Amino acid sequence: GAVVSQHPSWVICKSGTSVKIECRSLDFQATTMFWYRQFPKQSLMLMATSNEGSKATYEQGVEKDKFLINHASLTLSTLTVTSAHPEDSSFYICSAPPSGRAKDTQYFGPGTRLTVL
Amino acid sequence: QKEVEQNSGPLSVPEGAIASLNCTYSDRGSQSFFWYRQYSGKSPELIMFIYSNGDKEDGRFTAQLNKASQYVSLLIRDSQPSDSATYLCAAPPSGGSYIPTFGRGTSLIVHP
């Protein structure tokens, strides 16, 4: 199956710093990628849709100035959590449907666990 | 608004039994469904997809789709403790969107 990677797999940072998370599609091109957040024992929450070459689309209640998304190429999307606070501590997961294949198949990255002290 | 409903569980079954996970959906236009497995602390992993009415079998897993009843299920035969995870049902994007709709997931516990 298609492979999506994320980096880093975990990160610990101080409150007020910014953290960048990368999502890469390794063997396919993805014009669209999705960013999810998941708190312990809760369901996936879609944060935003990342679109290659254009602005991301954010879900209601997600601050676009806090969660900066850049999708500069067909294989890379980045999520930057700016001025992180302890309440931003969560499991961040990206996913992508392979372009040109069954567009409704989602392949998930392994996730990034963010802990803000 | 398209919805996918799942019982959050937990569903507890003994080792070797059949685990039955169920999902209902609201969009009659949905043509296919996906089942993901998510272990604690890990991201979801696609395990099954089904496009047509009836059953689809893959090893110990059987997906069942009933479009008339808007019901999709996942059966796990000979359940193992390693099957303990949260199972997510997902409906595909529609109307030009790439965004799938996920259920909240059902927690499955297989006890020895």
Who among B46, B88, B103 is closest to A107 (CB)?
A: B46
CB pair distance less than 8 Å for B100 and A109: no
What does the mean pLDDT of chain A come to?
91
From the CA of A4, how many Å to the nearest CA of chain B? 11
Given a cut of 70, whether residue B96 has pLDDT beyond it is no
In whole angstroms, give the CA distance from residue B14 to residue B83. 11
In whole angstroms, give the CA distance from residue B83 to residue B79. 6
Pairing between strand B45-50 and B19-25?
unpaired
The residue among B78 and A27 whose pLDDT is bigger is B78
What does the mean pLDDT of chain B come to?
91
A44 interface with B at CB cutoff 8 Å: yes
In one-letter notation, the amino acid at residue B3 is E
What average pLDDT does range A31-38 have in this prediction?
A: 93
Residue among B13, B14, B11, B2 at smallest CA distance from B87: B11
CA A77 to each of CA A8, A55, B58: distance values in angstroms, whole numbers, following the listed order: 13, 12, 33
CB-CB neighbors (< 8 A) of A109 in chain B:
43
**Paired tokens of B43:** 């991201």
Q: Lowest-pLDDT range, A58-67, B32-41, B87-96?
A: B87-96
From the CA of A104, how many Å to the nearest CA of chain B? 5
Nearest CA in chain B to A113: B41
